[in-house]
Amino acid sequence: MHSDFLFIFVVTEQRFEFMSAKRTLILNKEQILQKSKRIAYQILEDNFDESHIVLVGIADRGYVFAQRLQKLLQEFAKDKEVELIKVSINKGKRSLEATTDLPVETAKNKAVIVVDDVLNSGRTLAYALGAFINVPLKKMRTAVLIDRSHHQFPVYSDFYGQKLSTILKENVEVYLEEIDEQEDAAWLA
């Protein structure tokens, strides 16, 4: 594993204190691509008898990850139609507030995979799943790049790139070129 140091200067009572926060590389660009391909193959294996798959990407990074999975699925299985729905969740609210860029009925009677970059407590995935609660589906699965295993909700990843045991104080940062304008990487900070 590659380590980087992030230097933080803290001003307290007119003096500077030097602190360092260690960052550890979890996945590099090539590993993210490899994990993405593996997830795409797993989705195809789970849906071998389906002609239609709907990916529901959670804005922002989950949606970008879902776009990448869509491209891979279309490359690997040209006979399958793969639709993409973007779901945006207002995480500041205590009640479910999710909006989609396409009507949720688009997923009716289809296999649905909800996609995010990191699964931590499960709240975000639960909100995204809730947006489809009144739509009859063939099946619903979840796919994440990194599963942190700190579930507070009964939501688990069916497909994941990396399972990671972390302490609650640690943070997983995923960088995707399309959003962050830097090379793909996942860091533990």
**pTM of the full structure:** 0.86
In this structure, is residue 15 part of a structural domain? no
Of the candidates 147, 73, 132, 126, the residue with the CA atom closest to the CA atom of residue 99: 132
- Per-residue pLDDT of 115-158, as tens digits, reads 999 998 888 999 999 899 999 999 999 999 999 977 788 889 99
Contacts of 90 (CB under 8 A, 6+ apart): 97, 98
Express each pLDDT in 63-96 by its tens digit.
999 999 999 999 999 999 999 999 999 877 777 7
Q: Which domain holds residue 100?
A: 27-188
CATH code at position 122: 3.40.50.2020
Residue at 97 is within a domain: yes
Residue type, 44: L
pLDDT confidence tier of residue 21, bands split at 50, 70 and 90: low
| Position 72 in a domain | yes
In a domain, 146, yes or no: yes
CB 161 within 8 A of CB 43: no
Q: Yes or no: say if 118 and 187 are a contact pair by the CB < 8 Å rule.
A: no
Q: Examine residue 60 and say whether the peptide bond preceding it is cis (omega within 30 degrees of 0).
A: yes
pLDDT at 15 over 70: no
Q: Does residue 8 lie within any of the structural domains?
A: no
The answer to whether position 74 is within a domain reads: yes
Domain presence at residue 9: no
Domain count, the chain: 1
Residue 1 in domain:
no
User: If we measure between CA atoms, which residue out of 184, 144, 149 comes closest to residue 56?
Assistant: 144
